[in-house]
Structure 1
Amino acid sequence: MSHGKIREDKTCLNCGHQVEERFCPHCGQENIERRQPFYFLFTHFIEDFTHYDGQFWGTLKNLIFKPGMLTNTYLEGKRQKFVPPVKLYIFVSFITFFVFALFPMVKLNFDGNNNSKNTPKISFFEKIKSPEVQKMFDSIKAERTLTRKDSLSIQNLNVLPDTVTVNEIKEVLKMNKKIDTDVEYGGYKTRKSYDSAAAKNPSFLDFIQIPLAHKFFELKEKGVTKQEIVVNMIEKSFHNLPKALFIYLPLFAFFLWIFHSKKKWWYFDHGIFTLHYFSFLLLNILFIFLLSKLVGVISFRPINLLLYLTMSVLLLYNIGYFFIAHRRAYHAHGMVSFIIGLTLLTVNFFAFMFLVTGLALVSFLMIH
C-alpha cells in the first residue's frame, strides 16, 4: 500500500473526476501529491514491483507450498489477492537469471591474464600445463585408470573430477588446439567442396546442414580453438535460455490443451497453469543453484551433506509438484491425473530436448 501524501484537492489529476477517498473511482489513479520526498522513489518501486503490502510474499508462499492453489484462485475470478501470473513469471524470471549472471554456473578462463594483488590467477589450461602438473601426468601416463591417490591429487587442483581417466586427460589437453586442417565435415575438408556436393545432392535438411557447415568452415579458417567454441556456445546458450523458456510457455500450454476437455478448459486456463508452474520451476532452480554455490564455499562436511540432502529433496519435490498441482487445478481423480501428468511430462521432456538442441545449434551459429 502506498504511503504518499494525499492531496487536499479531491479532483483527480488524471481524469478530472471527484475522488472521495484515496483512489479515483473512475480511472483508479491514486490521488497523492505530485511531489514526494526522494526516498519515496525507492519505497514506491518496491511496493509496485513486489506488492510489498503482503500480496507478493503471500503469492510466493502459496506458489511454493500449495501447488495448484494460485491457479484455482485466479480462475475463480479472485484476482486482487495475489500477484497476476504474467507479472509473477516476469519478476521470478528476472531475479533468477540476474542471479545466474552474478554467479555464473560455468566459469572458464582461457587467457590467464587476470591477476589479483597477491596471487596471479591462471586459467584451467595454463594450470594443467605447469611443470608440476606435467610431472604428475608423466608419472601416471602408463596407467589406464588413475589410482585413488592420483585422483585425489588431481582433485586438489580443482580441475578434474576424481573419476577421471588418462584418456579423458588427453582429451582435455587437446582443447587448446585449433581445428585440424584434416578435420572434415560430412566427409569434406573445405567449404567449396561441401557446397559443390550439396548442390548436386540437395536434401530437405539443407536449411540446417548448410549454415552449420558454413559456420564450421568459417571457424576452421579463422583458426578458432576448441576451447573458444565451447566457451562461446555456453555463453550464447545462457543468454538465449530466457528466450527459449518464454517461447516454450505457449507450447507447454498447448500440450495441456490437447490432453483436457476443450469444453471445460480453455487455452487461457492452461496458460494460467503454465505461468504458475514455470514460475515455481524457476524458483526451485534458483534455490538449488544457490545451495550448490554454498557447497563450493563451505568446507564443513556435515553442512555439505545437509545441503546435498536439501537439493535432493528439492529435485524430488520439483517432480512431484507437477502431479499435485495438476490434480488440484484440474480436479481430476488420482490415477487419471497421474497418467495424464506422466504423459505430459514425457511429451514435454522430448519437446524441450528438441528445443535445447535447437538452442545449441543457434548458439553455434552465433559464434564469431
Structure 2
Amino acid sequence: MKKHYRKETDCLNCGAELQGKFCHVCGQENLQIRENFGHMMNHAISDYFHFDHQFFHTLKPLLFQPGKLTNEYMAGRRVQYLHPVKMYIFISLVYFLLLFKTGNEPIKVTHTKSKAVTKKELASTNKVLDSVVKNPRMPAFAKAAIINAKKNIDTAAKHEDTIDTDNEKSLINKSYLFPGATHDTTYTQYVASQQKLLPKKRDGFFKRIYNKKAFYYKEKYGSRARDVFFEEYKHNMPKMMFLMLPLCALIFKITFWRNKKYYVEHLIFTFHLHCFLFLFLAIIMLIELIIPKSWSLYDWLNFAATVGIIWYLYRSLRVFYNRSRWRTISKLLGATFMYFIVFTCCLLIALLITAATI
C-alpha cells in the first residue's frame, strides 16, 4: 500500500529540518497526520514484520555461527539483527513457558479417608455372620469357627484404625515438611523449642524464616505444601537467570582480562550466549514432546545436546576472544567452574527469597 508523506519538511516530533522521508534526529517517518484505517494497519503490520525479519535473520548466526553475532554487533552492523536484550527477553519467555508447561496454580487439597465405607462393610459382614450363627441347622464346630473368624475380623479392624491413625500423625509430622526443616508439629512448638536451647545452638535468621515458610505452606496447602513451595521456587528462576547475566559477564571479564575488552562487550556476548542456550534447550524440549517414548531416544538426545552445547561454548569463545585452541579450552574450564559456583549461590538466594516472601 502506498504511503502518503507530508509536503512540509519539518519533523512533527522534534521540529528538525528534514532532508528526506525520515528525520535524521529522532528517526520518525514524515507521514501525514490523518491516515485512514488501511494506512494505520499497514504501518502496524510493517513494524511487526520488521521485527519478524530481524528475528529470523538473527537465528542463523545465533545457532550455527558461534561468536559471529557478537562480533557483528560490536562492529556496528546492528540494523539487520535483533537487539540482544530484546532477543533475550523473547527467547527466555518462550523457554520458561515450555519449562513450566506442566505447572498449575496451587490448589488446596483435603485428603479424606474412607473409614465410613469400611465400617459399613464390616457391619454388613458381621450381620451376615450373626444370621448364620443363629441358624439352628448349623453344626456346632462351624458356629465356633465363624465366631472365631468374627473376633479376628473385629481385632484386625481395630488394629487397622490404630495403624491408620499413626500413619496420619506421621504424615502430618514428617511428609509435609521441607528438606532440612524442623520436626516440630506446629510453629508455636518450634518457637518454644528454640527458646529452650542455648543462644549458640538456636537456628539462625534464615533458618527461622525457612521453617516459618514451611509451617505456612503446611497450614495453607496441606499435603501439597512441598510441591507448591518448589513450584514458586521454579517461577523465581527467570529472575535468578536475569541476575546471572551481569555476573556471568563479570566472569568473562576476569577470565579474559588480557583481551582488554570493555565490560559491556562481555555483557553482549553473555546475552547472545544465553539466548542460544535457551533457544537450543527449547528446541530439545519440543523434540522430546514429539518423539514417542517407545523409541527410547531420550538418553541419546540428551547426550547429543550436551556435546552440542560444549562445542558451541568452545567455538563462540574462540571466535569472540580470538585465543588459541588450548588456551580457549583452559579458559573455558576456568569460566565454567566459576559459573557453577555463582550459579549455586544464585540458587540459594532464590531459595531464600522464596522462603522470605510470605
Normalized against structure 1, the TM-score is what? 0.68
- CA distances 1:43-74 after superposition (whole Å, capped 9, x unpaired): 145235x2x3x332121111110000011112
Task: Note the C-alpha offset of 1:186.
Answer: 5.1
CA separation in 2, counterparts of 1:269 and 1:92? 20
1:350 counterpart = 2:341: yes
1:76 counterpart = 2:72: no
3-state DSSP of counterpart to 1:178:
helix
CA RMSD of aligned residues (A): 3.8
- CA distances 1:198-222 after superposition (whole Å, capped 9, x unpaired): 772277x8231121122234445x2
What does residue 212 of structure 1 align with? 210
Pairing partner for 1:323 from 314, 317, 320: 314
Task: Note the C-alpha offset of 1:9.
Answer: 3.6
Task: Note the C-alpha offset of 1:339.
Answer: 0.6
CA separation in 1, counterparts of 2:235 and 2:43? 30
Give the count of matched residue pairs. 297
Task: Note the C-alpha offset of 1:249.
Answer: 0.5
What does residue 126 of structure 2 align with? none
What does residue 304 of structure 2 align with? 313
Task: Note the C-alpha offset of 1:179.
Answer: 3.6
What does residue 172 of structure 2 align with? 178
What does residue 48 of structure 2 align with? 46
Q: 1:58 to 1:95 in 2, by over 3 A?
A: same
3-state DSSP of counterpart to 1:212:
helix
Task: Note the C-alpha offset of 1:3.
Answer: 7.6
1:239 counterpart = 2:271: no
Q: 1:359 to 1:349 in 2, by over 3 A?
A: same
CA separation in 1, counterparts of 2:65 and 2:4? 37
3-state DSSP of counterpart to 1:21:
coil
Task: Note the C-alpha offset of 1:253.
Answer: 0.7
What does residue 287 of structure 2 align with? 291
Higher relative contact order at CA 8 Å, sep ≥6: structure 1 or structure 2? 2
Pairing partner for 1:253 from 215, 230, 249: 249
3-state DSSP of counterpart to 2:257:
coil
After the TM superposition, which residues 1-368 of structure 1 pair with which residues of structure 2 at under 5 Å, given as runs?
5-34=4-33, 35-37=35-37, 39-40=41-42, 42-47=44-49, 50=51, 52=52, 54-100=53-99, 103-104=101-102, 106=103, 177-180=171-174, 185=181, 190-197=189-196, 200-201=199-200, 206-220=204-218, 222=219, 224-225=221-222, 227-261=223-257, 264-295=260-291, 298=292, 301=294, 305=297, 309-366=300-357
CA separation in 1, counterparts of 2:47 and 2:95? 19
Q: 1:198 to 1:232 in 2, by over 3 A?
A: farther
Q: Which has the higher helix share?
A: 2
Any unmatched runs of 5+ in structure 1? Answer: 114-124, 127-172
Native 8 Å contact 2:108 2:224 kept in 1: no
Identity across aligned pairs (percent)? 25
Task: Note the C-alpha offset of 1:270.
Answer: 0.9
Letter in 1 for 2:230: I
- CA distances 1:286-345 after superposition (whole Å, capped 9, x unpaired): 1122222223xx47x55x74x765554233212221111001100000000101101111
Native 8 Å contact 2:16 2:25 kept in 1: yes
Q: 1:110 to 1:80 in 2, by over 3 A?
A: closer
Q: Which moved more, 1:351-360 or 1:68-77?
A: 351-360
CA separation in 1, counterparts of 2:289 and 2:87? 25
CA separation in 1, counterparts of 2:314 and 2:286? 25
Q: 1:59 to 1:17 in 2, by over 3 A?
A: same
* Rg comparison, structure with higher value: 2
